[in-house]
Amino acid sequence: MAQTSKNPPRTPASAARRRSPLDRLLDPELFKALGDPTRLLLLACLCKCARECAVSEIGACCHVDLSVVSRHLATLERAGAVRSRREGRTVFYAARFDHLTSALRDLAVAIDHCAQCRPDSPGCDC
């Protein structure tokens, strides 16, 4: 079998062609969702509260229109950072702790793996 594919790629071009766990974990949607200060503030509030919070309640933590808060929360939900649940007229949002931490830790593991791979180290799947 191709032993070469078990070593780190020699050039960025060959690295781009090769599939690795990194490609799945470096999710642009998640990082794009976390790239806005207002959204980070909302997410931080949900994490700190560590419970389900209503949209109107969450809106009190920053100075933007409630419609903007609603949109930001929807963006965070699409990215997998929070989940929502409707109860009557109220929609509750909560941080997805497990999903967030595993996404971060899995990525850290994948990056560590790349760092440890050397041209002469077998078993590399970077």
Partner DNA sequence: TGCTTGTTTGTGCCATGGTGCAAGTATTGC
Partner DNA sequence: GCAATACTTGCACCATGGCACAAACAAGCA
Identify any residues that bridge with 54 across adjacent strands, giving them in sequence order. Answer: 92
Burial of 30 per CB tally in 10 Å (0-12, 13-18, 19+)? buried
Interface region with DNA, contact rule CB under 7 A, candidates 3-11, 66-74, 98-106, 112-120: 66-74
Choosing among a second copy, DNA, none, which partner's interface includes residue 94 (Cβ < 5 to 8 Å by kind)? none
C-alpha distances in Å from residue 120, one per residue of 29, 40, 49, 56, 111: 35, 42, 48, 57, 18
> Does the protein bind a second copy through residue 61 (CB under 8 A)?
yes
72 binds a second copy (CB under 8 A): no
96 makes contact with DNA (CB under 7 A): no
Around Cβ 92, how many Cβ atoms within 10 Å? 16
Choose the binding region for a second copy from 70-78, 83-91, 109-117 (rule: CB under 8 A). Answer: 109-117
What does DSSP assign to residue 2? -
- Please give the Cα distance from 54 to 15 (Å, whole number): 45
Residues within the interface to DNA (CB under 7 A): 32, 35-36, 38-39, 54-57, 63-68, 70-75, 84, 86, 88-92
Residues within the interface to a second copy (CB under 8 A): 8-13, 15-16, 18, 20, 22-23, 26, 28, 31-37, 40-50, 53, 57-58, 60-62, 95, 97-98, 100-101, 104-105, 107-108, 111-112, 114-115, 117-118, 126
